[in-house]
Chains A and B, each alone.
Chain A
Amino acid sequence: MKSLVTGLGVVAPNGVGAETYWAATLAGRGGLGRITRFDPTGYPVTVAGEVTDFVLQDHVPSRVAAQTDRWSHLGLAAAKLALADAGVEPATLPEYEMAVVTVGSSGGTEFGQREIEALWSKGPEHVGAFQSIAWFYAATTGQLSIRHGMRGPCGVLCAEQAGGLDAAQQARRLLSDGACLVLAGGTDASLCPYGLTAQSATGKLSGNPDPARAYLPFDVDASGYVPGEGGAIFVVEHDVPAVGREDRRCYGVIAGHGATFDPRPGSRRRAAAAAGEPLRRAIELALGQAGLGPGDIDVVFADAMGVPALDRAEASAISATFGPYQVPVTAPKTMVGRLYAGGAALDVATALLAIRHGIVPPTTGGTRTAPECDIDLVRMPRERRLRSALILGRGHGGFNSALVLTAPPETNARSFRS
C-alpha cells in the first residue's frame, strides 16, 4: 500500500493557496515583518510572520468562525483549499472511511486571551460559551470532521514543530487500517501577547527587530528564530483509489517516517543529543522505512532552529548521514518563521511542490554559513530532478521527526507533467 498526497492547502505569511505560496517562495519573497496583530513595543520579540492576505469570510462560515480561534480559521481555510485542489467531494465518499489528523501546539491562545481578559475585567458572566471548545488542541480536527462529514478515526498530535511529520505518518497508518482518505496537517496562530510571552520563555526567539536579519539559521549571524502563523493541510489517499477518485492527481508519496526523543535533562546522554544523535537516528529510521539509502535523497528540508547550538546539532545529524556537503539542504521557513503546529506541515507542502516543479527553493536572509555547519545550504533556487525529499522537524520538549517523501509513482495516479 502506498499513501499518496493528492491535494495541498497552504495558508502562509507569504501566500494563501499552494501556487501563490510557491511563486513567492521561489522568488524569495518573505512574509516577515514587525508584528501588527498587537503592539509589540516592549516585548523581547517584535518580528513575526503574519498571514495578512486572508479574508476570513471567504473561507469560514460565520457560524463556525464565531466559535473557533484564528488557528482553526487558518486550518479550516487550508483544508478547504486542499479538498478543492484534490477535487474531493467528501459527500460522495464513505463518511466513516474519511479521517482528520491535525497537529496541536498551544491551542487557541488568542481566543483564550480575549476570554480571560473578559473574566478579569468584567466578570465570569462575560466569558463566552465557546471558550469551552475554541482553545482545545483538538478543536481544528473536530471542526474539520463536522464540516466535511469525516467520521472515521480522527485525532490530534502534539509534538510542536515536529508534529506535521507525525501527522503525515499517522495518515499513512490510518489508510493501512482501512481509511480511504485522510485530511492531515496543521496550522497555528499564536501571535497574541499571551502566546508570544509563552514562546519567549524558551529563550530561543530572535530579538532582532530587522525582519531581514532576525531569522538566519545555520548562519554566522544566527540569533534565534522568529514565530509565524499559518500552515498547511494535505489530502492523503491510498494508491488504490476509492470509487470516483480514479482521476486524481498526485504530488508524491509518504514513504517513510522516524521519530525519536531527546534524552531527559540531566541524562549522561545529553552530549549525544547536542551532537544531533537523536535526530540522526530519526533520519535512519525514516530512510529504513522508505527502503532508501542516503544516496537516494535529493534534498533535505531542515528544521532550521536558528539557534547556533541547535543548528550545529542538526547539521551534524545531516552530515553524519549523508557526508559533509553531500546533499542540498534548504530552509524556506526563513521566509515565514517557525509556524509551530503548522511548521512541518508547511514543509511537507513545500517539499511536494519542489518535487513537482523540480526546483529546490531557497533559504533566504543569511550570507555566510557557519563553518561548524558542514552542509550545502541552498541560497538560490536550484533546478534539479527530485526523486525524493527528506524533511526534518524538532519540537519543544525533545521531539525529533524525519519524513521521506518520494515522487509520484508512474502508475496508479496521474502526476503533473505539464
Chain B
Amino acid sequence: MVMLTLHKLRELIRTSVGFDEGIDFEGDIADIRYEDLGYDSLARIEVAAQVQLQFDVEISEDMAMALETPRETLDYVNTRIGAIQRSGGSKS
C-alpha cells in the first residue's frame, strides 16, 4: 500500500483547498501549523476527507482538528498504513 509523502499531501492540499499566495507553498511546509498556512477548520476537515478517500485511512473530524501540521498528518496516516500492512490487511 502506498505511503503518504509530503509531496503527495502538498498536491492533495493544492487541488482540494488551494493555498495562500502569501506563503512559500513549495517550500518546507511540513512543520508549519495549518492555521498559519491560512487554513480554517473547514479546510482541514476537507483535507482530512480527501486523505481518507485516497489512502483509505479513517480520520475522524476530531482527529482532523487535532492534526496541526502536515508532518502530524503524515505521521498519523503512515503509522496506520504501516499497521494495516503489518497485519496483512487486505485494504489497498
Contacts and interface: CB of A to CB of B under 8 A. Distances in A.
Interface of A: 61-67, 125-126, 128-130, 132-133
B16 to A, nearest CB: 7
Nearest to A126: B53
A352 B39 CA distance: 39
Contact of B18 (A64, A125, A129, A132): A64
Contact of B49 (A63, A65, A128): A128
Contact of A65 (B18, B43, B46, B53): B18
Interface in B35-85: 38-39, 42-43, 45-46, 49, 52-53
Interface string B3-44: 000000000001011111100000000000000001100110
A133 B17 CA distance: 14
A65 B21 CA distance: 12
B81 to A, nearest CB: 18
B46 A128 contact: yes
A62 B52 CA distance: 22
A125 B52 contact: yes
A132 B17 contact: no
B53 A129 contact: no
Give 3 nearest A-B pairs by CB, closest first.
A62-B18, A63-B18, A129-B46
Given A125-B49, A125-B52, A126-B53, A132 B20 contact: no
Given A67-B43, A132-B42, A61 B49 contact: no
Most buried by A among B18, B39, B43: B18
Interface residues of B, number: 16
Contact of A61 (B14, B20, B43, B46): B20
A112 to B, nearest CB: 16
Contact of A67 (B19, B20, B42, B53): B42
12 contacts: A61-B21, A62-B14, A63-B39, A64-B18, A125-B53, A126-B53, A128-B16, A128-B49, A129-B45, A129-B49, A132-B42, A133-B42
A66 B52 contact: no
A318 B76 CA distance: 68
Nearest to B47: A129
A167 B10 CA distance: 41
Given A129-B45, A133-B42, A66 B21 contact: no
Contacts of A125: 49, 52-53
Interface of B: 14, 16-21, 38-39, 42-43, 45-46, 49, 52-53
B53 A63 contact: no
Contact of B19 (A63, A128, A133): A63
A130 B43 CA distance: 8
B53 A66 contact: no
Nearest to A61: B21
B15 to A, nearest CB: 8
Contacts of A62: 14, 18-19, 21
B42 A66 contact: no
Contacts of A66: 16-18
A62 B45 CA distance: 17
Nearest to A132: B42
Contacts of A129: 42-43, 45-46, 49
A63 B18 CA distance: 4
A304 to B, nearest CB: 39
A132 B16 CA distance: 15
A130 B20 contact: no
A104 B19 CA distance: 27
Contacts of A65: 18
Nearest to B21: A61
A63 B17 contact: yes
B47 to A, nearest CB: 9
B42 A61 contact: no
A63 B20 contact: yes
B60 to A, nearest CB: 12
Nearest to B49: A129
Contacts of B49: 125, 128-129
A69 to B, nearest CB: 14
B18 A61 contact: yes
A130 B53 CA distance: 16
A64 B14 CA distance: 12
A64 B19 CA distance: 9
Given A62-B19, A129-B43, 18 more contacts: A61-B18, A62-B14, A62-B18, A63-B17, A63-B39, A64-B18, A65-B18, A66-B16, A67-B18, A67-B43, A125-B52, A126-B53, A128-B16, A128-B46, A128-B49, A129-B45, A129-B46, A130-B46
